[in-house]
Structure 1
Amino acid sequence: MKAFHQALASSVVLASAFMMTDVSAAEESQAALQAQAKISQAQAQATALAKVPHGEVKSSELEKEHGRLIWSFDIAQPTVKGVTEIQVDARTGKIVAMEKENAAKEAKELAAEKNEGAAEKSASK
């Protein structure tokens, strides 16, 4: 019976470690990206907002896309439908992409990101 309790306790500890690994791995990867960025989020945001008159940042993200570390901003304007996505190189501070997105394209992009996140989570298990 003692062996059973030890095995059970070990299983609980192991399961907890796996759950914490998923969370800390995501935090670590974001921390690793932050460490690689030479341009702060505030600097990149100021660059992006300069391109969109009266814009308001709706979302922002530091990510690697096509091998490039970028700050990505979705910026809305009060009198314009959709958002403008602006990507700023996190190493140089230069705008690398600027694209107008409508609601349908935003929803499709969000769904793709969720699917990608779920696939990464499954792969890490």
Structure 2
Amino acid sequence: MRKSLLVSSSLALCAMAFSTIAAATPADLAAQAHVKMAEARSIALKASPGKIVKEELEKESGGSGLRYSFDITAAGVTHEIGVDAKDGKILENSIDNGND
């Protein structure tokens, strides 16, 4: 009985933690960012000039764990630029092959 209660409690805590993580809205993420979207756009365009065709703020490994991702197209090539949302550092600058 004690073991069953321990397992049930552990599962409940995991479920609560997951629901808290999964419930992060774009507004929640933006509130955590020290660098705002407009500044991140400027940083990304300096790293790879062109036209931004996709942008998002997401939790992802690397840097502070909160990053802006931009797909920037120029001369038929799309670059993926990642900008850390806490300090503005470039985390990624690669050619997007469309596999993600």
Give the TM-score of the pair, scaled to structure 2: 0.70
Q: Whose Rg is larger?
A: 1
Aligned residues: 77
Give yes or no for contact 2:47–2:93 (8 Å, CA) kept in 1.
Answer: no
Give the drift of 1:30: 1.3
Q: Does 1:66 align with 2:68?
A: no
Q: Which runs of 5+ in 2 are unaligned?
A: 1-21
Q: Could you tell me which amino acid in structure 1 is paired with residue 67 of structure 2?
A: I
Give the drift of 1:82: 2.8
Structure 1's consecutive aligned runs of 4 or more residues displaced over 3 angstroms after TM superposition are none
- RMSD of aligned alpha carbons: 1.6
CA distance in 1 between partners of 2:26 and 2:53 (Å): 20
Give the drift of 1:86: 0.3
Q: Which residue is 2:72 aligned to?
A: 75
1:80-99 aligned within 5 A? 81-99=76-94
CA distance in 1 between partners of 2:44 and 2:61 (Å): 20
Give the drift of 1:52: 1.7
Considering fraction of residues, name the structure with more helix.
Answer: 1
Greater relative contact order structure (CA < 8 Å, 6+ sep): 2
Give the TM-score of the pair, scaled to structure 1: 0.57
Calculate percent identity across the aligned residue pairs.
42
Matching residue within 43, 46, 62 for 1:47: 43
